[in-house]
Amino acid sequence: MFKKIVDPADCEVRSVIRFLKAKKVKLAEIHFQLVEIYGENVMTDGMVRKWVRQFNDGHTNVHDEARSGRPSVVNDGLVAKKIRGNRWFTIRVLFDEFPQISKVVLHEIVANRLNYRKLCSR
């Protein structure tokens, strides 16, 4: 049995698809091998078909192309810096600091990514 690779980069998986397609491996076999190495949640069969089709059409770039849209202004480090500056913070105070981000997203950053928990003492 092979060792599973956890959390691969998207471009890595696409490179494997491009490599196997160049070796003329069948589409179903490509998907089977991806699932065998990267696990069940790596990529759906439909996405493998999409990428094989793009490579057949001459697309060679395995990296994500730039998309239009508004880039995120706030990252985890910036939120952590604000929290360290005010230890008595609330999500409402953070929302006042970063009005462009919803309270739900701020709560997800604080609770899940930065692992801060509610602490009450008397």
Domain ranges of the chain: 10-57, 76-113
- Taking the complete model, does pTM exceed 0.85, yes or no? no
Q: 14 or 69: whose pLDDT is higher?
A: 14
Residue 57 has pLDDT above 90, yes or no: yes
> What's the pLDDT tens digit per position in 16-53?
999 999 999 999 999 999 999 998 889 899 999 999 99
Classify 10-57 by CATH class: mainly alpha
Q: Which of the given ranges, 4-8, 48-52, 58-62, has the highest pLDDT on average?
A: 48-52
Query: pLDDT value at position 27?
Result: 93
What pLDDT band is residue 3 in, cutting at 50, 70 and 90?
Answer: confident
How far apart CA 14 and CA 51 sit, in angstroms, is 7
Residue 55 has pLDDT above 90, yes or no: yes
Residue 102 has pLDDT above 90, yes or no: no
DSSP string covering 76-121: HHHHHHHHHH-TT--HHHHHHH-TTS-HHHHHHIIIIIS-------
Query: pLDDT value at position 30?
Result: 95
